[in-house]
Amino acid sequence: MLLEMENIQKTYGDFTLNCPLKLQSGYITGLIGTNGAGKTTLFKSALGLITLDQGEVKIFDKPYSQLSLKERQDMGVVLADSGFSGYLTIQDIAKIMKNMYQLFDQDRFLKKCRESGLPLNKRGKDFSAGMKARVRVLAAMSHEAKLLILDEPTAGLDVLAREELLDSIREYMEPGDRSILISSHISTDLEQLCDDLYLIDHGAIVLHEETDVLLGSYGLLKVTEEQEQKLDKRYILRKKKEAYGYRLLTNKIGFYRESQPEIVLEKGSVDEVITMMIRGERL
């Protein structure tokens, strides 16, 4: 297991983070949640940036505090709200990284930056949000890290830049022994990219599922009140009142397709699953 968070707990006022999470080797695991759901707190816990009230984070099968600096070099990180000092240029960052990571490929990093249209001698604070995001991601992917931890790496990027970034992440995974934990508020990004997804809300995990299962087996049933009463609800996870009756979320759409062909069914998208899981009523 590349990353494992067991029974961790962190409380800020009335917010409590309590998210068991596992990241397997060779996997891209996505983290989805609304703003303030606790994604950044979870990332900061994973990176030892905040102390936990309870529980332990293990990276490369070791508690985070026991990782050697050599092992820490195997991690590449993007944080949503923090990066290298804005007073440094890309050339400066390359010099620093060269002295921090043994496997840092300076020429490749600078080449990638140039290809992305980033000015090498301009200070980071004069960059646009999208440019800053690109530098952060390129820096995280510049030193052959086995584990990438990317908090909102696509924030501030336009559609084309996002696609480019997602492609470069796929390319990064090619060697096969690498893993990525990634969060985004744009669920389509994660739908295309991730092997499994964690849905987080109010500091807790409300759903963990393989992406294929989520897209293939999850779905929505649109039923009248009468249909709802007669329905076999074994595989219904949430329900929500609508003008026409109820909207129901199932994790076995195939079951209802066969047994109740008269019901209107819709295949699930991650956004709909999120909305139903958070806003819908638990059965």
Residues that bind another protein (CB under 8 A): 44, 47-51, 69-70, 72-73, 75, 77, 79, 81-88, 92, 95-97, 99-101, 125, 149
Angle at 270 between CA 265 and CA 273, to 5 degrees: 60
Tokens at 277, concatenated: 């899981």
CB of 8 to another protein, least distance (A): 15
CA–CA separation, 245 vs 166, rounded Å? 39
Nearer to another protein, 105 or 272 (CB): 105
Nearer to another protein, 149 or 270 (CB): 149
CA–CA separation, 144 vs 113, rounded Å? 16
Cβ distance 8 to 20 under 8 Å?
A: yes
Q: Is 145 helix (H, G, I), strand (E, B) or coil?
A: coil
CA–CA separation, 264 vs 271, rounded Å? 19
Nearer to another protein, 72 or 185 (CB): 72
Which residue do the tokens 């090619």 mark?
Answer: 174
| Among candidate residues 95, 35, 100, the one with its CA nearest the CA of residue 278 | 35
Nearer to another protein, 79 or 190 (CB): 79
CB of 101 to another protein, least distance (A): 7
Nearer to another protein, 139 or 220 (CB): 139
At residue 41, what is the residue type?
T
CB of 87 to another protein, least distance (A): 5
**How many CA atoms does the CB half-sphere of 105 hold within 13 Å?**
12
CB of 253 to another protein, least distance (A): 40
CB of 175 to another protein, least distance (A): 21
Nearer to another protein, 103 or 264 (CB): 103
DSSP type of residue 18: B
Cβ distance 72 to 117 under 8 Å?
A: no
CB of 4 to another protein, least distance (A): 18
CB of 183 to another protein, least distance (A): 15
Cβ distance 238 to 277 under 8 Å?
A: yes
Cβ distance 115 to 153 under 8 Å?
A: no
Nearer to another protein, 35 or 99 (CB): 99
